[in-house]
Amino acid sequence: MFGEIQRFLGSAWTDFQRCFAESLQTDIPLLDQVNQYLLAHGGKKLRPTFTLLVAQALRGRCDEQCVIDCAVATELLHTATLVHDDVADDSAIRRGVPTVTALYSPSSAVLIGDFWLSRAVDRINEHPDRRVLKVFSKCFGDLAEGEMLQLEKAARFDTTDADYRRIIYSKTTSFFEASMLSAAYSVGATEQEEEMVRRYAFHIGQSFQMMDDILDYSPELSIGKPTGQDLMEKKITLPLLCLFGKVPADVAQRIRERMSHPDTALVDEVFSLVQRYDALSDARSVLEAEIGQAVEAIAPVPASQAKDYLVELARMMAVRTS
């Protein structure tokens, strides 16, 4: 599907790829080597895809340089956060290949992430609408707040549904908002259109992270990622919250207490309870509601191929496998 969308975006996608690569050019061999490694093992570039599609859906074109710059900044910032996350988590593998942390060193990875961040700021610093810089700045602050709240809750094992939603908004959804609102600002969207985009981005971001959390409890899907990681990292996410809503209070409390020293036995027990109480069905119902709200948010947008792709991408959140 992504190949189809990229072909639809045509020259805008080609310009995005060119500007993205140009942003990373340097005359320092080691830095260039790491940059090329990250470029070779990049993901689907979902966020810049949203950036370009939103501009296309609202104004029928997405090849203006200010839109391209927002798409490039989005992917640069996203990659920078992943590189930094791998340092914080001491991760050795991402997308099936060694991380920069594992190949080089944590300090090198921090510097690489900082370099990508600086190049992202370069792309949006001269944007004619200063709200673009502001919305990206906001997502940085949200990310830090979300990480700290998650650490606090992981130490206390008292995450509520409201806590969970705030954490995933800060760590994931705010970035989707920045990627899409920057496109709306770039094409001179009306206030009504901006609100439609904001609502769509909000529910896309929430559903994206919810599905990621559901996958962590779904070993049968075998998507190449280890399952049970959230429990081992003391994170209470959507499937576990759904389980807590169905088991006796004393069982939920016992699980919370055991999360102070998680082990494979706890993972096995919780997975068994999730299956017995069909908690993943409840989690998927919550996910489907978010997706429905995303589709509803852009219903007033005039019919177009770009809008159809935005709807398809929303529905894909419930079936994605990576």
Residue 181 lies in a domain: yes
Q: What is the CATH number of the domain that holds 198?
A: 1.10.600.10
Q: Which domain holds residue 13?
A: 2-316
C-alpha angle with apex 145: 141 to 149, nearest 5 degrees? 170
The confidence band for 227, taking pLDDT boundaries of 50, 70 and 90, is confident
Q: Over the stretch 119-142, which tens digit does the pLDDT of each residue have? A: 999 999 989 999 999 999 999 899
pLDDT attached to residue 224: 53
Residue 153, pLDDT above cutoff 50: yes
- DSSP helix/strand/coil, 192: helix
Terminal alpha carbon distance of the chain = 13
- Say what the pLDDT of residue 88 is: 81
Residue 96: the pLDDT is 78
**Weakest mean pLDDT among 34-48, 120-134, 148-162, 212-226:** 212-226
pLDDT band at 198 (very low <50, low <70, confident <90, very high): very high
* pLDDT over 90 at 297, yes or no: yes
* CA gap 135, 140 in Å, rounded: 9
Burial of 213 (0-12, 13-18, 19+ CB in 10 A): buried
Range with lowest mean pLDDT among 79-93, 237-251, 259-273: 79-93
Residue 44 lies in a domain: yes
In a domain, 35, yes or no: yes
CA distance 97 to 224: 12
E strand or H helix that includes residue 98:
strand 97-98
| b/e burial code for range 181-208 (CB count within 10 A of at least 16 → b) | bbbbbbbebeeebbebbbbbbbbbbbbb
Local confidence band at 322 (pLDDT 50, 70, 90 cut-offs): very low
Asked, for residue 321, whether it belongs to a domain, the answer is: no
How many structural domains does the chain have?
A: 1
76-118: per-residue pLDDT in tens? 999 999 998 888 878 888 877 889 889 888 999 999 999 999 9
Is residue 209 domain-resident? yes
Q: What is the model's pTM? A: 0.93
* SS3 (DSSP) at 94: strand
Please give the single-letter amino acid code of residue 129. D
Res 219 pLDDT > 90: no
pLDDT bucket at 163, cuts 50 / 70 / 90: very high
